[in-house]
Structure 1
Amino acid sequence: MSSTSTSWNGGRLVFPSVITNEGNGYNPSNGIFTAPISGMYVFFVNVQSYSTQHIYVDIVLNGSTKVRTMAYSYNNNDSYESGPNLAVLNIQKGDAVWIKRHSGSGYYHNGPITTFSGFLIHM
């Protein structure tokens, strides 16, 4: 992420800052990874809550939630909790993977801390 949000209520989390995009499968304009080839992929998401807010996000394949993670502050001070999760998915060329908001609204950015990553492990 390239910014913090205290009121995000969108459906898809878009990650506009891209470090590596081998094969150009990730679109930083809409937040969707489209598989350039079929294979076994690993996808990882880490979401950092903003202050005392909470956020739940899903790794989604073609509209179907595969895993969920959450970052939730359990006390009333600024605790900025982290929620990581990953999914190993067998996907076909052209399948789409993205991060979707399940609930909550606040995520934090301080360098690369709320992130989405993926890589091919086997064709």
Structure 2
Amino acid sequence: MQLHLVLYLCVAVCLTGGKTVAGKAPLVYFKASLPKNSDPMTWKPYPFGVGSIILFSSVEANNGRGYNPTSGVFHVPVSGHYQFRVLLQTVGTGHSDYVLLAQGSAKARIGIPKPWTSTSMSVVIHVNKGDHVLVKKTWENGNSPLRQGVWSQFSGFLLRRD
């Protein structure tokens, strides 16, 4: 799935010059992850408490400037149908659950039942300009911080403008 998303974005950017899709809407996409340590031989776990918004603060792409790495919230710049994808991996000894929220309503949920397990969720939803989309931790049993870098990501892109 990640390869398909990257290929789609590359084709869209190449065809549009990064400005519009078929003359109808600005190309909107973002990709962010939990930051890596400067030492590639070590990794840093990211503990988030229940109820916390996950702050994917290492931003690789943010065309449309909708994603805010300080708050962890995507502010929808153009109304339409978007695809959002979340990939998470936990470390430690616990279990945890996460939800993708749009305007406070759950659109997708995942549970990570054991440490060192990667889980993803992907959803296509309609959102309006100004809506907020984010990932929040909803439950934890034990210690289950998130793994850094490419193992914990949040991305999204505009599929079709209204």
TM-score range, shorter chain: 0.7 to 0.9
How many residue pairs get matched?
117
Indicate the residue corresponding to 1:76 in structure 2. none
Query: How much has 1:109 moved relative to structure 2?
Result: 2.2
Instruction: Report the counterpart of residue 36 of structure 1 in structure 2.
Output: 77
Gaps of 5+ in 2: 1-33, 36-43
Q: Distance in 2 between matches of 1:70 and 1:49?
A: 10
Looking at structure 1, the residues matched to 101 and 60 of structure 2 have their Cα atoms a distance apart, in angstroms, of 21
Of structures 1 and 2, the one with the larger relative CO (CA 8 A, separation 6+) is 1
1:103 partner amino acid: W
TM norm structure 1 = 0.87
CA RMSD of aligned residues (A): 1.5
Report deviation, 1:63. 0.7
Asked if 1:117 corresponds to 2:128, the answer is: no
Kindly name which structure, 1 or 2, has the bigger radius of gyration based on alpha carbons.
2
SS of 1:116's partner is: strand
**Aligned-pair CA distance for 1:55:** 1.8
Superposed CA deviations along residues 20-45 of structure 1, whole A, max 9, x for unmatched, are 00000000000000110001000011
TM-score, length basis structure 2: 0.67
Match of 1:82 among 101, 118, 123: 118
Aligned partners of 2:87 and 2:131: how far apart in 1?
22
Alignment partner, residue 91 of structure 1: 127
Q: Tell me, in whole angstroms, the C-alpha distance in 2 between the residues paired with 1:110 and 1:24.
A: 23
CA deviations 1:3-56 (Å, max 9, x no partner) are 413x42052111100000000000000000011000100001111111332221
| Cα distance in 2 between the residues matched to 1:86 and 1:121 | 13
- Where does residue 53 of structure 1 map in the other structure? 94
Between Structure 1 and Structure 2, the one with more helix by share is 2
Q: Is residue 45–residue 115 contact of structure 1 (8 Å, CA) maintained in 2?
A: yes
